[in-house]
Amino acid sequence: MKKIFHISGTTIPGGGPEHIFQLIKRLNQNEWEVAICTLKDGLYWEKFKSLNIKTYNLALRIISLKTACKFFLILRKEKPDLIHTHGKGPGLYGRLIGSFLNIPVIHTFHGFHYQDIPFPTRWFHLAAETFLSLFTDQHIFVSTGEKNRARVLKFLDEENSTVIHNGVDHEHIDSLATTRNKALKLSGTENWEKNKILGTIARLSPEKGILCLLTAFSKAIKEIPDLRLIIIGGYPEEHNDYYLKVKSLIDKENLTDYVRILGYRQDTVKILKCFDFYISSSLSEGLPISMLEAFASGIPTIATEIAGNKDILCNSTFGVLAEPGSPESLHKGIIKMVHLTQDERDFFSRNGSNRIKTHFSIDEMVFKTDLLYKKIKK
């Protein structure tokens, strides 16, 4: 049996922690002993504990000598055969200290977002990532679009990088089927039974484009007064100012009766069942699990035309694409989707659901990752 050590920066609900949780949950326990080092700051801490694996609480998004020393001692104690890092801070500690201890390291980019960072900071991040690639045995990208964005890294090639798509459990999502009324009750919107409901699952942070979405939605309800919006997602402390901007815009546009922000939820897939339409207004993504869940649930989808989103909604047979950062384009996308006939919506639903079964299954994601682990530790 080999020991693999996962390193992550947060347990706040999101695509990264969910990806890691599902991967660890499905790895063959007769082949892999698993431990994880992450920060006890969210709901996924208890989910990781429920898997009966060793868990270490450490703030790896903070760069400090004290943290590095603590992490070094943890790795020296655990003596893993393989390290799998997720995200920038964990990737820094895991790759440098893992290399020092002569432990192979795999790093997953859950979104390669450097093009969205102001130039001086962007240059620093790219230089750091190029340097760290020298200490990385294999890089994993969760989408082809993200790998293409990362080609600016000088030491990245086809030998030391691969694409392994995020995946979802289609059968599990089907098993959670519930009635629209029950889903409305879960979301606290029982009085919206006769309304058309647009929904999204996204944390309230700038890269998710929520302000653009609200501006577009404000225009849309002038043409479609019975349209409503549900946002499932909270916000990390560092994005409190952005959350206040979201609340301010809702008040300014008189959207209080039209919009519900539900915060972090563990029953998101059930609440999805009350959505008539799904929308992703993101400005950057890796490969959004929430959008995979919407497709698997057969919900017609509007999405910004960015890397990650386009890996799922690749053309007009699967949904409606809009320009990122453009409230006007999102508005047009919403109007176009709502005015489709039922047959046209059913066409999107069938195509989307079948695409998930064919290309984005959780079993395929785990299988490919397991093969990569064995390749590194052969």
CA-nearest of 306, 305, 264, 302 to 285 is 306
What's the CA gap between 315 and 40, in Å, rounded?
40
Query: In 42-98, at which residue ranges do the beta strands (DSSP E only) sit?
Result: 54-57, 82-86
CA-nearest of 153, 105, 101, 100 to 131 is 153
Q: Tell me the three-class secondary structure of 5-40, residue by residue.
A: EEECCCCCCCHHHHHHHHHHHHCCCCCEEEEEEECC
Question: Taking a C-beta distance cutoff of 8 angstroms, is the pair 347, 318 a contact?
Answer: no
- SS3 call for 378: coil
What's the CA gap between 76 and 85, in Å, rounded?
16
What's the CA gap between 198 and 274, in Å, rounded?
9
- What is the token pair recorded at 250? 């809702």
What's the CA gap between 220 and 216, in Å, rounded?
6
Percent of the chain scoring above 70 in pLDDT: 97
Q: In this structure, what are the phi and psi dihedrals at residue 27, rounded to the nearest 5 degrees?
A: -65, 145
Give the per-residue pLDDT at 115: 62
- Give pLDDT tens digits for 235-244: 988 899 999 9
Question: Taking a C-beta distance cutoff of 8 angstroms, is the pair 137, 85 a contact?
Answer: no
- What is the token pair recorded at 2? 């080999």
CB atoms within 10 A of CB 246: 21
Please give the C-alpha separations between residue 130 and each of 104, 125, 253, in angstroms, as whole numbers.
17, 9, 45
R_g (Cα) of the chain, nearest Å: 21
Give the per-residue pLDDT at 175: 86
Longest dimension (CA), the chain: 62
Low-confidence ranges of the chain (pLDDT < 50): none
CB atoms within 10 A of CB 59: 16
Q: List beta partners, residue 304.
A: 322
Give the per-residue pLDDT at 130: 80
- What is the token pair recorded at 248? 């301010």
- Domains present along the chain, CATH in parentheses: 2-167+361-376 (3.40.50.2000), 170-359 (3.40.50.2000)
Please give the C-alpha separations between residue 332 and each of 159, 206, 220, 244, 348, in angstroms, as whole numbers.
42, 22, 8, 26, 18
What's the CA gap between 20 and 16, in Å, rounded?
6
Q: What does DSSP assign to residue 104?
A: -
- What is the token pair recorded at 168? 């979802």
Q: List beta partners, residue 85.
A: 7, 107
Query: H/E element holding 197?
Result: strand 196-201
Give the per-residue pLDDT at 378: 66
